[in-house]
Amino acid sequence: MSTSKKRQPGRPAKYPPEFQADAVAMVLDEGRPAAEVARSLGVNEGTLGNWVTRERTARNQGADLNVDERAELAELRRNLTELRMERDLLKRSLAFWVKESTP
């Protein structure tokens, strides 16, 4: 996610860029409603909307995709999200299994 807004020197961001990127991904990639995501994360809906708008603009710059390509891209992003969740689950399961099987 791009951050085009300048911050005041010495003023930390309220939400880290990784948090913002994950929140935007829930809206754009998973297709969840922004209001639902904002409520679940404790973020102002307008703030999340600004992040989503900024990311949509960044994604659309130089990307002249037709309808089929956009649908395929959305499907690939959904698959990627699902595969990442499965990978993380397998990592946790393996760590648990190793911990339990070690005397």
pLDDT at 92 over 90: yes
State pLDDT tens for residues 32-74.
Answer: 999 999 999 999 999 999 999 999 888 877 567 778 888 898 9
pTM over 0.75: no
Output the DSSP codes for the chain.
----SPPPTT---SS-HHHHHHHHHHHHTT---HHHHHHHHT--HHHHHHHHHHHHHHHHTT----HHHHHHHHHHHHHHHHHHHHHHHHHHHHHHHHHHH--
Predicted local distance difference test score (pLDDT) of residue 89? 95
State pLDDT tens for residues 67-80.
Answer: 888 889 899 999 99
Read off the pLDDT band of 7 (50, 70, 90).
low
